[in-house]
Amino acid sequence: MRAPNTIRPIFPRPRYAAVFGAAAIAIAAPLVRADTTVTLWASVQGLFTSYGQNNKNFNTGPGNYLCGYMGNGSAMRNYFVFNLTPGMIPAGQQVKSATFEIGTVFNHYQSLDPSETYALFHVNDSSYFDLLDVNTSIWLHYSTYNDLGDGIIYGSRELTPNAEPFQGIRYLPMTLDPAKVTNEMKLRLASGANNFAVGGHLTTISSGNYRQACFGFSGSDPSWGGPPKLTLIIGVPCPADLNGDSMVDDADFVQFASAYNLLDCADPAMPSNCPSDLNKDGVVDDSDFVIFAAAYNALLCP
């Protein structure tokens, strides 16, 4: 049990209004920039085997993105490519949240272990994703297979036999690190590549020689609605601007104070994703209040 909060917020404190009066509102109004939500669907998807082989030769249509250890010495890692639009992250803005959702079919989880962890990794080179395995030279791309499961991790989630409903919407959401996604997308856009690739890998494969895999049959079942998707919220970075109007003022304070009184991000009454937890440590406490107060005094988002 944590010690109770000791600093009590004593806002609202309309300092900016007293100092700047109506001018503050007049100055602020043109700076209001609403966040933009962008949904990207994977344009390319598939897997590489631990023999360095793309599955494009044995799957037609949307690629199967089976992932994991097959129990026979062979392993698979999957990949997804999302097309980016030039200018989609305007100067001075960033990806403020990124949610990856992967489609599953009913028997996707195959492991003797009660859970496995699936993580999405940075991809250095996606140039082999579109190649058909039409000759033996396309085998043995071990570097591509390795690329899908090492380097920067954008996000991860636990998979269990019951992680998704048996019927209905079969998307498993995964929260990605928005700063890492912003960095990579901006690099890709600046290079003119205009796409963003991720590699998926089960990071909990144990040494036991039994199948530990997920997302089987994903290339053959059209019923789950479509390819994996990536939902981005793009906007001005300003964490204390809780209502997204590019100012940190009394309206934000009301939201902050409510969260501060709840304290724990796990509290069911806390808004989803716990936006008032500004230092991302799982609680809304005095550390967050110090950050909030500084932004409140600055009033305008950078």
- Secondary structure of residue 136 in the 3-state scheme: helix
Q: Which is nearer to Ca ion, 50 or 183 (CB)?
A: 50
Q: Which stretch binds Ca ion (CB under 5 A): 22-30, 44-52, 105-113, 187-195?
A: 105-113
The binder of Ca ion chosen from 43, 74, 143, 243 (CB under 5 A): 243
Check if the beta carbon of residue 214 is closer than 8 Å to that of residue 161: no
Q: Which is nearer to Ca ion, 30 or 87 (CB)?
A: 30
Instruction: Dump strand ranges (E) for 52-115.
Output: 67-69, 75-83, 94-103
The binder of Ca ion chosen from 279, 290, 294, 297 (CB under 5 A): 279
113 scored as a contact of Ca ion (CB under 5 A): yes
First to last CA, the chain: 36
212 scored as a contact of Ca ion (CB under 5 A): yes
C-alpha closest to that of 47 among 217, 230, 188: 217
Q: Which stretch binds Ca ion (CB under 5 A): 6-14, 174-182, 282-290, 291-299?
A: 282-290
Helix (H) or strand (E) holding 142: helix 142-147
Q: Which is nearer to Ca ion, 88 or 163 (CB)?
A: 163
Q: Which stretch binds Ca ion (CB under 5 A): 33-41, 86-94, 109-117, 189-197?
A: 109-117
281 scored as a contact of Ca ion (CB under 5 A): yes
Check if the beta carbon of residue 64 is closer than 8 Å to that of residue 224: no
Structure tokens at 35: 């966040």
Structure tokens at 221: 């079942």
Q: ∠34-35-40 over CA atoms, to 5°?
A: 145
Q: Which is nearer to Ca ion, 164 or 288 (CB)?
A: 288
Q: Which is nearer to Ca ion, 195 or 204 (CB)?
A: 204
The span from the CA of 184 to the CA of 60, in Å, is 30
Could you say which DSSP state residue 88 is in? S
CB of residue 208 to Ca ion, shortest distance in Å: 7
Residues 161-180 that bind Ca ion (CB under 5 A): none
Instruction: Estimate the crossing angle of helix 250-262 against helix 286-298, to 10 degrees.
Output: 180
CB of residue 248 to Ca ion, shortest distance in Å: 6
CB of residue 229 to Ca ion, shortest distance in Å: 27
117 scored as a contact of Ca ion (CB under 5 A): no
Structure tokens at 259: 């969260």
115 scored as a contact of Ca ion (CB under 5 A): no
Check if the beta carbon of residue 255 is closer than 8 Å to that of residue 262: no
Q: Which residues sit opposite 138 in a β-bridge?
A: none
184 scored as a contact of Ca ion (CB under 5 A): no
301 scored as a contact of Ca ion (CB under 5 A): no
> DSSP letter string over 151-194?
S-EEEEEEE-TTSS-SSS--EEEEEE-HHHHHHHHHHHHHHT--
Q: Which is nearer to Ca ion, 206 or 297 (CB)?
A: 206
CB of residue 285 to Ca ion, shortest distance in Å: 6
Interface with Ca ion (CB under 5 A): 113, 204, 206, 212, 241, 243, 245, 247, 252, 277, 279, 281, 288
